[in-house]
Structure 1
């Protein structure tokens, strides 16, 4: 399972797996390797009888800067042109569904998943931690559902999963503004359960919580997760299908091109609604 991984590292000890985001993009940005490897890793952890709980965290100072947009856009260019027809848009729909399925592999893993977040957790990073069962943060953690800032409707699960975690009002505020929030605000709106002073203390707490879970009867814990997810999983699946269809139809835009160009040129974007 852990052979030839580029973007993730997996360590297993005492029935707890620790999955660490490695990049290779700056700030553990999520490029093609990440999206290919994430479901491979979590499907394997799901099937491994020795694993009873999972901790997911980021290497270095940050959890993840989110989608590595420049790295991903190269393979999407022929699908996102202004004159893209049904064939190209259908391929893009399949691409969105593949990315959605990668994040859903975290939620679908029968073993409880604890996200330990330090530093930045942006966009796709929030999608991943929303798919986890429990979220913990260090005091320096910052969160942003930032897709609106790059002319994208968030389509990998944040809009579907966060309503059950932080409530509709907080979700709409974050998704409409793309604002950043710190760890204390994240705790106040229930995005994270607890905030710890620093990254080392955070990881100790996440590992201790995973070990506590791993001491319980594993099939009962897995059954509890399954029962808790019944209503949510159906609602999330419906929402993911809808947003994938919406984005395959409407995502190609001048504003998206402007978002990418302004990012590369390190300047504020000028969105025109086109």
Structure 2
């Protein structure tokens, strides 16, 4: 039985690097740890079910990333999967149960409302990664299918292992992907043509192609080396001003679908407050004096 947040309790007293996070909600399908100071690791933890996304996991994802959004000590999030793969996509048993309940509703209007509500809840679970102001770094090993593509395209950075492969599988099971892939994948890779081919054909594509089209930033020989690199990068990000990092994410996401003028106005409004933060003064003094990198308060 997976617990709320499995932490390395025996290391909790080592320089405060690993903190017990009892303030976080309980999760049935996720494991959350704090392996480094201000770095939180979220793992899909249904390895016996290939980390497939079932109804509890949809709920856990939203709760978890909403909680981390509000957690001051969290500055960076790493997302990965336990077991032999990242995720095999949506749990078909859960999906069948969902449609069975829908089909019991005789009135078409009420059945439609039920379906709409469920779809919106799933969308919100994926969007929680994007709405969380903390940078999310995803690490894929093995298959990343269907809902897995939704997850990683909502993350800020993506990395994978050489044995990773990807598939936008929805059309193969008679569905149009409806929780984020169709909206985010074209923007992530910067090619509407390639994104449409992948979504229309449901073909598998592998790590080399994922790197070539810009879906992932780097490919590693195995999960261990991938996690080592990502952890080091996460530590570097966590050492920066959380005010600056989180405002950077907010502005990048806001500007994706806006004109340059709208994006510039947005950052001006945010920075008229953030420029008054002590983080800016600390950083400027450290750079000018070539002194040690400053420590920043949680935010």
TM-score of the alignment, normalized to the shorter chain, above 0.5: yes
Alignment gaps of 5+ in structure 2: 1-22, 259-299
In the alignment, which residue of structure 2 is the partner of 1:214?
Answer: 238
* 1:70-125 alpha-carbon deviations (Å, 9 max, x no partner): 22321332325796501111111010000000000011110000000000000001
SS of the residue aligned with 2:33?
A: strand
Measured in 2, the distance between the counterparts of 1:132 and 1:192 equals: 11
- Shift, 1:23, TM fit: 1.6
1:7 matched residue in structure 2:
29
Greater relative CO (CA pairs within 8 A, separation 6+): 1
Report the Cα offset of residue 233 of structure 1: 6.5
Q: Name the residue aligned to 1:22.
A: 45
Instruction: Name the counterpart of 2:251.
Output: 227
Query: Can you give the 5+ residue segments of structure 1 that lack an aligned partner in the other structure?
Result: 235-274
Does the 8 A contact of 1:183 with 1:195 survive in 2?
yes
Q: What's the counterpart of residue 89 of structure 2?
A: 66
Summarize the Cα distance change of 1:84–1:148 in structure 2 as closer, same or farther, 3 Å threshold: farther
Structure with higher Rg: it is 2
Mapped pair 1:198 → 2:227: no
Q: In 2, are the aligned partners of 1:23 and 1:29 still within 8 Å (CA)?
A: yes
Q: Is the 8 A contact 1:25 1:31 kept in 2?
A: no
With over 3 angstroms needed to count, the CA separation of the structure-2 counterparts of 1:130 and 1:80, relative to structure 1, is farther
CA shift at 1:213, angstroms?
Answer: 0.8
Q: How does 1:1-274 map to 2 (within 5 A)?
A: 2=24, 4-12=26-34, 13-23=36-46, 26-80=49-103, 85-166=108-189, 167-232=191-256
The count of aligned residue pairs is 235
Aligned residue for 2:78, secondary structure, equals: strand
Quick check: 1:43–1:105 contact (8 Å CA) kept in 2? yes
Measure the CA separation in 2 of the matches of 1:129 and 1:52.
18
Give CA-to-partner distance per residue, 1:134-181, whole Å, 9 cap, x none: 000011000000001100000010000011111211110110000111
SS at match of 1:49: coil
Please say if residues 78 and 88 of structure 1, whose CA atoms lie closer than 8 Å, have aligned partners that are also in contact: no
**Residues 6, 168 of structure 1: alpha-carbon distance in 2 compared, 3 angstrom cutoff:** same
TM-score, normalised relative to structure 1:
0.82
Distance 1:86 1:209 in 2: 49
Please tell me whether the aligned partners of residues 118 and 141 of structure 1 are also in contact (alpha carbons under 8 angstroms): yes
Shift of 1:8: 0.3
- Structure 1 residues 34 and 112, CA, compared in 2 at 3 Å: closer, same or farther? same
Cα separation, partners in 2 of 1:66 and 1:161, compared to 1, 3 Å: same
